[in-house]
Amino acid sequence: MRFLVILILSFILYLVVRLLIGFSYLSSQRRKRQEQLGGEMVKDPICDTYVPKSRAIEKNVNGQTIYFCSQECIDAFFKKRRAI
């Protein structure tokens, strides 16, 4: 009987530790995600949208780095340049 009680308590302790480790892992992942979304913001020259630099599409034009939010804005940028 005593063995069964020890076994049940050990299992409960295992579940509690596993739960705490899971919360710790999830909170560290959440923190990492917030850091990735944060940071420096760059402005798309076509739609004037601010995008996290880590998620922006980077193009080098005449030695200058320009950041875009999407492929559509890149296409519009170069189309506009050709029209000039």
d(CA 47, CA 73): 7
Give mean pLDDT in consecutive 10-residue pieces for the chain, a chain of 84 residues.
90 84 70 68 94 91 95 95 81
pLDDT attached to residue 36: 64
The residues spanned by each domain of the chain are 1-37, 39-84
Q: What is the pTM of this model?
A: 0.54
Q: Report the chain's terminal Cα–Cα distance, integer Å.
A: 88
d(CA 29, CA 8): 32
